[in-house]
Amino acid sequence: MNKKISALLLAGVMILSLAACGSQGSASSSVDPSGETVGLTEAFAEAPILVTSGGQSADYQMVGTLMGKIGMDYKISNLATSADLGDAKTLIVVVGGSSKGLGAAGIDADGELARLEELIDGAKTAGLSVIAMHTGGEARRGDLSDKFIAPIFEKADYAIVVSAGDEDGLMSGICSGAGIPMDSIDSISKVATVLPAAFK
């Protein structure tokens, strides 16, 4: 019983602290005191949208393709920095590490992490909403991909995760612990179903 009360208090504090951040697009969710993730309950994000990679796998391009199919307008840049945010009001970071992609982009994992931290911090400072995605399933887990998960998901306002990539609960744990709404989907194609609901 004490644990439940503590969890409720903690959740309440976290909601208040998130609200205090002043992000213009913080997502709304009711935090489940049981510690389970809660899906998005109402739209919070706004266009224009900037999509970037979190680890240089091709998953960010697949998300872009899906957004294009349903008519969502977006800009995409795999190496975006805060200087590229422009008039964007929402930043989407699609997490997935790829040695091949890092090599092709001419950046190493530490450099990629530094880029993402600078970008997300810049986005938060500018009041953008941040959406974290992990759409590559089990294939995008492991040492390289995992390096990017916590730094990005912990700063997100909303998360979308293909469930096969979260069997160990890493991402749902981060989201439930921080009161970040998270929707689990069974394949990347379902991004087209859940993502529009996040936008006003």
Partner 1 sequence: MKKVLALILAMAMALSLAACGPNPAVSTPAEDEVWSSTDENGNLKLTKRDDVGENGMVTTANVYATMAGLEVLEQGGNAVDAAIAISYALGVCEPNASGLGGGGFFNIHMADGREVVIDYREVAPMAQDAYTWLDETGAVKDNGNANHIGGLAVGVPGTVAGLEYALANYGSGKLTREQIMQPAIDMAREGYKAGGTLVGAMNDYYDYMVTNYKVLGDYYLKDGMPYEVGDVITNNDLADTLELIAKGGKDAFYKGEVAQAIVDTVASYGGVLSMEDLASYEPAIREPVKGTYRGYEIVSCPPASSGGTHIVEVLNILENYDMKALGVNTAESIHLWSEALKACFADRGAFMADTAFTDVPLAGLTSKDYAKTIYEKITDQAQTWEKGAPWDYQGDSTTAYSVADKDGNIVSVTQTIECFWGCKIAIPGYGFIMNDQLHDFSTDPTSVNKLEGGKKPLSSMSPTIVLDAEGNAFMSLGSPGGLRIWPAVAQVISNVIDHGMNMQDAIDCVRIYDRGDASGICYEPAGENAPTAETLAALEAQGHTLTEKGAWDLFFGGCQGILFAEDGIQGGADPRRDGKAIGF
> Cβ closer to partner 1: 101 or 179?
101
N-terminal to C-terminal alpha carbon distance within the chain: 38
Nearest-approach distance from CB 96 to partner 1, in angstroms: 9
Across the chain, how many H-helices and E-strands are there?
7, 6
Residue 142: CB atoms within 10 A of its CB come to 10
Instruction: State which of residues 6, 17, 189, 193 lies at the interface with partner 1 (CB under 8 A).
Output: 189
E strands, 37-144, are 49-54, 75-76, 90-95, 129-134
Q: Whole-number minimum distance, CB 61 to partner 1, in Å?
A: 6
Structure tokens at 159: 């998360």
Query: Least separation, in Å, of the C-beta of 42 and partner 1?
Result: 22
Size of the site for partner 1 (CB under 8 A): 23
11, 49, 66, 128: which one contacts partner 1 (CB under 8 A)? 66
Q: How far is the CB of 69 from partner 1 (least distance, A)?
A: 7
